[in-house]
């Protein structure tokens, strides 16, 4: 009887260890949560522009100045899909599409798919996304720190207190 109880306890312990390791493996292999998947609405842009400063008597001098545009109900939308693709819209009209990926530094990047006969320079270049919170991110074009676009998930309020804007 002692032998039977000992073997039963041993079998139960082995089953519980097997169950735990199986659960742990499932957690380790679960799909990564990508913070950009979903529908996003542009709510703000900031642009650094060279503006006329003063006349020197022979020429105008220029200084850089930040400008901002803010929209409450923007129709500029972007949808990131789980399969690594995205689509941009103006209202319900598709305006562009491409692919995105998560970078090693935790940011995301995306690139437009350009047709050979359509080489719109505005769509050239890798866009870099910095996530500020669960519903807000900013976008710059790689190598261009003079233009920033801000997006939030639709029908939410952005987390402005976590963002350092160039212009308040």
**Higher pLDDT among residues 52 and 5, named by residue:** 52
Strand partners, 129: 108, 139
User: Quick one: tokens of 146?
Assistant: 């003079």
Query: Residues 83, 131: one domain?
Result: yes
Report yes or no on 168 lying in a domain: no
- pTM of the predicted protein model: 0.76
Confidence of residue 3 (pLDDT cuts 50, 70, 90): low
24 and 65 in a common domain: no
Check whether residue 20 and residue 53 sit in a common domain: no
Same structural domain for residues 21 and 88?
A: no
Whether 80 and 14 map to the same domain: the answer is no
> Do 78 and 49 belong together in one domain?
yes
Distance CA 129, CA 126 (A): 10
Query: With 70 as the cut, is the pLDDT of residue 118 above it?
Result: no
- Domain range spanning residue 56? 38-162
CB-CB neighbours of 4 under 10 Å: 8
CATH of the domain at 136: 2.40.128
CA-nearest of 78, 68, 29, 34 to 48 is: 68
pLDDT tens by residue, 52-107: 999 999 999 999 999 999 998 999 999 999 999 999 999 999 999 999 999 999 99
| Average pLDDT value over all residues in the chain | 83
Per the domain annotation, does 167 fall within a domain? Answer: no
Do 46 and 102 sit in the same domain of this protein? yes
Read off φ and ψ for residue 48, nearest 5 degrees.
Answer: -95, 115
- Per-residue pLDDT, 115: 73
Overall number of domains in the chain: 2
Token readout for 160 is 């402005």
Percent with pLDDT over 70 in the chain: 79
Looking at residue 23, what is its pLDDT?
45
Main-chain phi, psi angles of 43, to 5 degrees: -125, -10
82 shares its domain with 115? yes
- Say if residue 13's pLDDT is above 60: no
Longest dimension (CA), the chain: 109
Q: Is the pLDDT of residue 24 over 70?
A: no
Alpha-carbon span 6 to 72, nearest angstrom: 70
Do 59 and 133 share a domain, yes or no?
A: yes
1 and 56, same domain (yes or no): no
**Mean pLDDT value across residues 103-128:** 84
Residue 116 pLDDT grade (very low, low, confident, very high; cuts 50, 70, 90): low
């Amino acid at each position: 009887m002692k032998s039977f109880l000992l073997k039963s306890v041993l079998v139960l312990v082995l089953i519980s260890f097997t169950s735990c390791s199986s659960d742990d493996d499932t957690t380790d292999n679960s799909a990564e949560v990508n913070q950009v998947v979903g529908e996003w609405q542009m709510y703000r842009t900031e642009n650094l522009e060279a503006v006329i400063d003063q006349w020197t008597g022979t020429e105008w001098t220029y200084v850089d100045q930040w400008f901002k545009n803010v929209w409450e109900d923007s129709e500029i939308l972007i949808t990131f899909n789980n399969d690594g693709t995205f689509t941009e819209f103006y209202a319900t009209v598709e305006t562009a599409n491409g692919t995105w990926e998560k970078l090693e530094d935790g940011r995301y990047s995306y690139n437009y798919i350009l047709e050979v006969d359509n080489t719109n320079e505005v769509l050239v270049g890798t866009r870099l996304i910095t996530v500020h919170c669960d519903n807000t991110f900013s976008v710059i074009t790689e190598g261009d720190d003079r233009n920033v676009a801000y997006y939030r998930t639709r029908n939410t309020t952005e987390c402005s207190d976590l963002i350092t804007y160039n212009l308040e």
